[in-house]
């Protein structure tokens, strides 16, 4: 039904604002996914190993930075409090998977000290984080 005064020339749909909103949402999604993809804590240069096997996701990640700083799941921690922090909180699940990510410049003695503390936790499965060696 046509009403008096309706003019077909004045009716139009403007899609430009909708397209602008869609592109803004797309840009925010790309930026957010890029920043959330690498939340491992300290930036470390892992040593390379040709025999590296992918493991299932660990329950916890212990990271030793190049200058010796220690983090548990991205939170700074002291070596003396490592075992207590891992064993507190949730009821113990068997087995707990912990991956140790140590920068390749960290002295071997410090890696052994952290491993020694981690082995004090009952029922723990330990893994060492490495970069897979790429074959030419």
d(CA 72, CA 88): 13
Q: What is the pLDDT of residues 75-119, one digit of tens each?
A: 888 988 888 888 876 555 556 788 888 888 889 899 999 999 988
pTM here is: 0.58
Which residues contact residue 52 at a Cβ distance below 8 angstroms, ignoring those fewer than 6 apart? 130, 131, 132, 133
Sign of CA dihedral 103, 76, 114, 68: positive
What is the model's pLDDT at position 32?
Answer: 80
Q: What is the pLDDT of residues 11-62, one digit of tens each?
A: 677 888 889 999 999 999 888 877 665 555 667 766 776 666 666 677 788 8
For the chain, give every domain's residue range: 48-132
Q: Does domain 48-132 have CATH number 3.30.200?
A: no
Q: Could you tell me whether strands 131-132 and 48-49 are parallel, antiparallel, or unpaired per DSSP bridges?
A: parallel
What is the model's pLDDT at position 37?
Answer: 52
């Amino acid at each position: 039904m046509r009403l008096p005064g309706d003019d077909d020339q004045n009716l139009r749909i403007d899609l430009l604002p909708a397209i602008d909103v869609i592109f803004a949402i797309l840009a925010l999604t790309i930026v957010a996914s890029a920043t959330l993809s690498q939340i491992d804590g300290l930036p470390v240069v892992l040593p390379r190993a040709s025999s590296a096997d992918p493991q299932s996701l660990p329950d916890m990640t212990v990271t030793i930075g190049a200058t010796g700083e220690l983090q548990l799941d991205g939170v700074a921690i002291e070596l003396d409090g490592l075992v207590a922090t891992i064993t507190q909180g949730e009821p113990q699940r068997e087995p707990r998977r912990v991956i140790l990510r140590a920068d390749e410049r960290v002295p071997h003695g410090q890696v052994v000290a952290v491993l020694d503390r981690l082995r004090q936790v009952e029922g723990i499965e330990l893994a060492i984080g490495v970069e897979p060696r790429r074959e030419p």
